[in-house]
């Protein structure tokens, strides 16, 4: 086996089946209560108090304005302890909101620092028009330039291999220690700047400008500098801004009624009321939820070129999945030796193993292994095969085998496509019965690939039997598809196989539908049909021929091993090149939407309890009947208002870990998910403030001069 083949097998062996790998250095940064992360994020939280930054979040900007107003009033009346305490807790509310966002951004910056270590200023060996080499800084390279890289060289920029084959260390980008093969032509030609060539010599055509390389884009995205608000996030911001305006008008118009009732309220109380009634909880955590969603993708080695793609993944209703490498293991494996009448399975296994000893393909190796495991046949020693003449497989003959000549006796074995081997037997005067065709047709209808084994020896030329090659469906795929079905997601398998084979694999894997003998045009047409029905579509791809479909899909995940065209067309890139990760990406997108929806529900339900705390306290003197609304039995108007403000600030801190980690995702239908969220977070949002405000009120009453 060649070095390149060994490396390729090593590469295939380290890929996790469910995308369990993480970004370089693993998950970085802890939650809000990680002292190191807190220390790094606190200065950023204070810098975000700049009104020019705060105005981007209308809800928290109103809280900051309220903090300024109450602070001015407290300074004007230095003896008013109540005003000072309210002002302090309003500022803490703003600070806690900024801290949540700063912690989320800090985790991304830590990942960006790891990536920066991989980004070095390299010297490139650029080829001139005459074919000579010249040394230039990597920053001087332009799109279309061709550079030479040999063992030990750092690749100076993103590009495609146009000449040669080499093993490349991509651990700085993917975190995987195993080298990968990059070669000209095909779908393994793309290379990333900052990775290192380990062997051989390759010529690379640069495809990106300096400063726009893959690492540059990834650094910008994980830092949050390039994160744009998604449509759903913008819509929710508009809703929160509208609620803020409504409650602001309500509080402003409340004062005339209070004056009329003889219970005029101070600006401090009105500011406290406004802050407690507007949806401050979700307003404080909204940005952190979005950043954390991108962060979870990066931890799984997926680069999303936009937040819109992450959100779209959560709304996907159709998944297009390649059969090979995604649903099946990717290499057909020998599953059974089927003899024809007059022979035994052991004889077929012996001849099949002999013909496969020089076959380095995964299929050939699986024949040897199956014969060894099922029939105890050992591999022959070199001495036993010194007179062997190996017949390699070619596209013309469509078969391979071996000719043995020893002591005047001869043995010829052929293994390959049914038509080719049967024709070989007939050419030598042998007969092929209908049984062979019945066996091969049965295997094909079952979704397998038949390889016929023929021999010529003292008994004459004849067919011994058939090897059943089978696409092996990955373990657990049927269960995962069942989970997707429970979520209302339709799965479609894409394959170049004939419809009979495709149908058998689809049935075994448990997908909802399949597209057989698929061409790039067929994929595009399928995506457009699904989108015309109002469904969002996600797919994976790695080749240039996948680029149109990746661009058309709402979520297009390109493999890092694929071509530059595929990576440019998609809106996500999987650094591990693991097609099954598309399922995880959908789950992460759904978790993002569920987290946002759950905390929005909790926040709005929260306000009901604060209403019962503050309104009775404000007007109980003017309208004693309102005391019946004081169902929490709060000690005094001052403690009631103060308890609500303190709870409003502390609940943000309590929910930051949930916003960063995300609400636990469970595969279920949208209806069940909605009922669950309303039951858990809606009811929790109602009950928690009643309990929390009452406990804070009890603590406040213990302070001398307050209760």
- Binding residues for Mg(2+), by number, are 542, 546
Side-chain-facing half-sphere of 43: CA atoms under 13 Å = 3
Burial (Cβ within 10 Å: 0-12, 13-18, ≥19) of residue 705: exposed
Q: Using an 8 Å Cβ cutoff, are 569 and 556 in contact?
A: yes
Separation between Cα atoms, residue 126 and residue 521, nearest integer Å: 38
Give the C-alpha distances (Å, rounded to integers) separating 131 from 114, 128, 141, 445: 37, 5, 16, 54
Q: Using an 8 Å Cβ cutoff, are 399 and 450 in contact?
A: no
Q: Which residues contact 408 (CB under 8 A, 6 or more apart)?
A: none
Name residue 494's beta-bridge partners. 322, 515
3-state helix, strand, coil in the chain (%, to 5): 55, 15, 30
Q: Using an 8 Å Cβ cutoff, are 192 and 574 in contact?
A: no
DSSP H or E run through 88:
helix 81-118
What b/e readout covers 490-501, taking b as 16+ CB neighbours within 10 angstroms?
A: bbbbbbebeeeb
Separation between Cα atoms, residue 83 and residue 77, nearest integer Å: 8
Q: Using an 8 Å Cβ cutoff, are 135 and 123 in contact?
A: yes
Q: Using an 8 Å Cβ cutoff, are 474 and 493 in contact?
A: no
Burial (Cβ within 10 Å: 0-12, 13-18, ≥19) of residue 258: middle
> Is position 322 annotated as part of the catalytic site?
yes
Measured in whole angstroms, how far is the alpha carbon of residue 17 from the centre of its chain?
Answer: 13
Nearest by Cα to 99 from 158, 47, 154, 22: 47
Q: Which residues contact 173 (CB under 8 A, 6 or more apart)?
A: 24, 115, 118, 192, 194, 195, 214, 215, 560, 575
376 in the Ramachandran plot: left (φ > 0), alpha (ψ -120 to 50) or beta?
left
Give the C-alpha distances (Å, rounded to integers) separating 135 from 111, 126, 199, 203: 32, 6, 20, 14
* Catalytic, out of 216, 322, 574, 697: 322
Separation between Cα atoms, residue 636 and residue 384, nearest integer Å: 99
Separation between Cα atoms, residue 697 and residue 449, nearest integer Å: 74
Name residue 613's beta-bridge partners. none
Angle at 116 between CA 111 and CA 120, to 5 degrees: 160
Separation between Cα atoms, residue 158 and residue 419, nearest integer Å: 46
Q: Which residues contact 418 (CB under 8 A, 6 or more apart)?
A: 436, 437, 440, 450, 451, 452, 466
Q: Using an 8 Å Cβ cutoff, are 112 and 223 in contact?
A: yes
Residues making up the binding site for ATP:
359, 363, 393-400, 415
Place of tokens 């595009």: 524
Beta strand 190-191 with 159-163 is antiparallel
Q: Using an 8 Å Cβ cutoff, are 192 and 173 in contact?
A: yes
Measured in whole angstroms, how far is the alpha carbon of residue 565 from the centre of its chain?
Answer: 20
Q: Which residues contact 432 (CB under 8 A, 6 or more apart)?
A: 422, 425, 426, 463
Sheet holding 201-206: strands in order across? 133-137, 123-127, 146-150, 201-206, 159-163, 190-191
List active site positions: 322
């Amino acid at each position: 086996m060649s070095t390149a083949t060994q490396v390729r097998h090593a590469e295939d062996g380290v890929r996790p089946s469910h995308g369990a790998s993480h970004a370089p250095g693993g998950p970085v940064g802890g939650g809000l209560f990680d002292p190191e992360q807190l220390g790094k994020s606190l200065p950023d939280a204070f810098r975000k108090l700049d009104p020019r930054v705060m105005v981007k979040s209308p809800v928290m900007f109103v809280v900051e304005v309220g903090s300024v107003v109450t602070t001015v009033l407290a300074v004007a009346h230095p003896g008013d302890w109540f005003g000072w305490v309210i002002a302090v807790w309003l500022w803490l509310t703003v600070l806690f909101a900024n801290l949540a966002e700063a912690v989320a951004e800090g985790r991304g910056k830590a990942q960006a620092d790891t990536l920066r270590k991989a980004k070095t200023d390299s010297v490139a060996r650029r080829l001139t028009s005459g074919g000579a080499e010249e040394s230039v800084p990597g920053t001087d390279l332009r799109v279309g330039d061709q550079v030479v890289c040999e063992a030990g060289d750092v690749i100076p920029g993103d590009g495609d291999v146009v000449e040669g084959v080499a093993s490349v260390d991509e651990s700085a980008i993917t975190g995987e220690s195993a080298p990968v093969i990059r070669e000209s032509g095909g779908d393994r030609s793309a290379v990333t700047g900052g990775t290192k060539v380990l062997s051989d010599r390759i010529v690379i055509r640069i495809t990106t400008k300096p400063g726009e390389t893959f690492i540059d884009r990834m650094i910008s995205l994980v830092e949050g500098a390039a994160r744009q608000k998604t449509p759903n996030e913008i819509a929710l911001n508009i809703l929160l801004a509208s609620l803020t305006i409504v409650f602001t008008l309500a509080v402003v118009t409340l004062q005339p009624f209070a004056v009329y009732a003889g219970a005029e309220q101070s600006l401090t109380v009105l500011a406290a009321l406004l802050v407690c009634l507007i949806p401050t909880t979700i307003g404080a955590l909204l940005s952190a939820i979005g950043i954390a969603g991108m962060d979870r993708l990066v931890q799984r080695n997926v680069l999303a070129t936009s937040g819109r793609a992450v959100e779209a993944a959560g709304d996907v209703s159709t998944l297009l999945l390649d059969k090979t490498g995604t649903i099946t293991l990717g290499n057909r494996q020998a599953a059974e030796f089927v003899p024809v009448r007059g022979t035994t399975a052991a004889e077929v296994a012996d001849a099949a193993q002999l013909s496969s000893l020089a076959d380095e393909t995964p299929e050939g190796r699986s024949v040897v292994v199956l014969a060894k495991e099922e029939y105890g046949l050992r591999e022959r020693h070199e001495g036993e095969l010194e007179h062997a003449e190996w017949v390699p497989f070619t596209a013309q003959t469509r078969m391979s085998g071996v000719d043995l000549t020893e002591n005047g006796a001869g043995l010829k074995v052929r293994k390959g496509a049914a038509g080719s081997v049967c024709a070989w037997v007939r050419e030598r005067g042998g007969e092929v019965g209908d049984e062979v065709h019945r066996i091969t047709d049965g295997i094909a209808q079952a979704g397998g690939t038949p390889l016929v084994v023929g021999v010529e020896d003292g008994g004459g030329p004849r067919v011994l039997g058939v090897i059943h090659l089978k696409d092996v469906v990955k373990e657990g795929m049927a269960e995962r598809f069942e989970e997707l079905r429970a979520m209302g997601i339709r799965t479609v398998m894409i394959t170049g196989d004939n419809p009979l084979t495709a149908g058998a694999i689809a049935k075994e894997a448990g997908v909802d539908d399949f597209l057989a003998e698929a061409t790039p045009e067929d994929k595009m047409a399928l995506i457009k049909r699904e989108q015309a029905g109002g469904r969002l579509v996600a797919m994976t791809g790695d080749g240039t021929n996948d680029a149109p479909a990746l661009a058309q899909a709402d979520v297009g995940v390109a493999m890092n091993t694929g071509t530059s065209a595929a990576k440019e067309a998609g809106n996500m890139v999987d650094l591990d090149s693991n097609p099954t990760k598309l399922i995880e990406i959908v789950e992460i997108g759904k978790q993002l939407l569920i987290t946002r929806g759950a905390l929005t529900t909790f926040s709005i339900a929260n306000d009901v309890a604060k209403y019962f705390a503050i309104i009775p306290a404000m007007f109980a003197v003017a309208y004693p009947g309102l005391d019946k609304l004081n169902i929490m039995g709060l000690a005094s108007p001052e403690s009631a208002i103060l308890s609500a403000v303190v709870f409003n600030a502390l609940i943000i801190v309590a929910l930051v870990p949930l916003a960063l980690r995300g609400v636990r995702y469970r595969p279920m239908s949208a209806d069940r998910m909605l009922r669950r969220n309303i039951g858990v977070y809606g009811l929790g949002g109602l009950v928690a403030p009643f309990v929390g405000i009452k406990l804070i009120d009890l603590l406040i009453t213990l302070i001398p001069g307050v209760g």
